[in-house]
């Protein structure tokens, strides 16, 4: 039978008063930092939620970046259409709330020479996401500082990079908006023919920052019926206008085109519910 073996260890010494005080101070500092972070997060969360109460007009900054030789006339035409876009979105809100305030006011900054904004990486990994967040922050900081944009004073900001078109037959516009966030990005081959498509995508990305979802599938086809503005219309096609969260105005079950005027920008009921325009 094997007996047990005891090991004698010295009793732990009492921590010195200086060490105890340092430990307590470190805990207080860490708790204070955590409290500040939580307070900021709560303030940011409540501020974003307040945007959907629609008891005031949301102030939106549209930041124009000239990423190449772009005609001044195209930039002027883009700016000249912003009041019409405000009015059209106000008319859409009035379809659901007759006594609502005007939903948006747009303020244009720029144009300023610069590069295209960084879009999110296709790699969903944490390192890539952190790298993109840092790159995007630096991109915005340079632009905001150069144009003296009071970013805290706006409910959302949409950065529009206008790039020249090398092929008149192959123009494009694309964008990304932070879901429920504050920032959207658009890249467009801007000329006089691309004003309405550019504004359509600007509106699409802006509404993403307010929490709306896409109304189209992975193939770029507007989903039916949730992407329809007039789902009860007979005959169903063509639709009278395009839900801005879709991909265009539906001419048939699989045929669509980009809106050709701001009057064709609409908010369907599904999108209106996400915006809390419908109680």
Q: What is the pLDDT of residues 126-172, one digit of tens each?
A: 888 899 999 999 999 999 999 999 978 899 999 999 999 766 666 78
Q: What is the pLDDT of residues 189-208, one digit of tens each?
A: 999 999 999 999 999 999 99
Cα distances from 201 to residues 124, 254, 272, in angstroms, run 24, 20, 17
Q: Which of 56-60, 121-125, 257-261 has the lowest mean pLDDT?
A: 121-125
Measured CA to CA, the distance from residue 204 to residue 214 in angstroms comes to 9
Q: Which of 56-60, 125-129, 192-196, 241-245 has the lowest mean pLDDT?
A: 125-129
Nearest Cα to 76, choosing from 66, 68, 88, 86? 66
Residue labelled with tokens 């969360």: 45
Q: What is the mean pLDDT of the chain?
A: 87
**Cβ–Cβ under 8 Å, residues 171 and 143:** no
Cα dihedral 236, 242, 247, 248 sign: positive
Q: What is the pLDDT of residue 27?
A: 63
Instruction: Average the pLDDT over 62-77 and give the result.
Output: 95
What's the N-to-C CA distance of the chain in angstroms? Answer: 80
Measured CA to CA, the distance from residue 101 to residue 120 in angstroms comes to 34
The pTM of this model reads 0.83
Domains for the chain: give ranges and CATH numbers: 57-211 (3.40.390), 214-279 (no CATH)
- Supply 169's token pair: 């037959």
Instruction: Catalogue the E-assigned strands of 67-113.
Output: 104-113
Residue labelled with tokens 């772009």: 70
Measured CA to CA, the distance from residue 164 to residue 207 in angstroms comes to 26
């Amino acid at each position: 039978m094997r007996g047990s073996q005891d090991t004698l260890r010295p009793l732990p010494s009492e921590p010195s008063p200086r060490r105890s005080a340092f430990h307590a101070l470190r805990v207080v500092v860490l708790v204070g930092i955590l409290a500040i972070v939580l307070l900021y997060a709560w303030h940011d969360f409540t501020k974003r939620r307040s945007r959907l109460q629609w008891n005031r007009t949301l102030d939106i900054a549209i930041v124009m970046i000239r990423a190449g030789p772009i005609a001044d006339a195209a930039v002027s035409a883009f700016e000249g259409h912003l009041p019409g876009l405000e009015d059209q979105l106000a008319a859409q809100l009035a379809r659901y709330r007759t006594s609502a305030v005007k939903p948006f006011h747009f303020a244009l900054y720029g144009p300023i020479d610069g590069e295209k904004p960084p879009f999110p990486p296709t790699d969903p990994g944490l390192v890539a996401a952190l790298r993109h967040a840092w790159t995007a922050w630096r991109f915005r900081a340079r632009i905001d500082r150069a144009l003296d944009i009071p970013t805290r004073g706006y409910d959302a900001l949409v950065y529009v990079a206008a790039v020249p078109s090398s092929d008149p037959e192959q123009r494009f516009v694309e964008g990304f908006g932070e879901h429920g966030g504050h920032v959207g990005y658009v890249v467009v081959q801007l000329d006089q023919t691309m004003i309405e498509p550019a504004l359509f995508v600007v509106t699409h990305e802006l509404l993403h920052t307010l929490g709306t979802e896409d109304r189209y599938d992975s193939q770029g086809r507007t989903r039916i019926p949730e992407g329809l503005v007039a789902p009860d219309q007979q005959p169903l096609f063509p639709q009278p206008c395009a839900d801005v969260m879709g991909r265009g105005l539906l001419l048939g079950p699989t045929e669509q085109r980009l809106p050709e005027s701001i009057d064709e920008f609409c908010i369907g009921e599904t999108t209106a519910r996400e915006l809390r325009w419908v109680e």
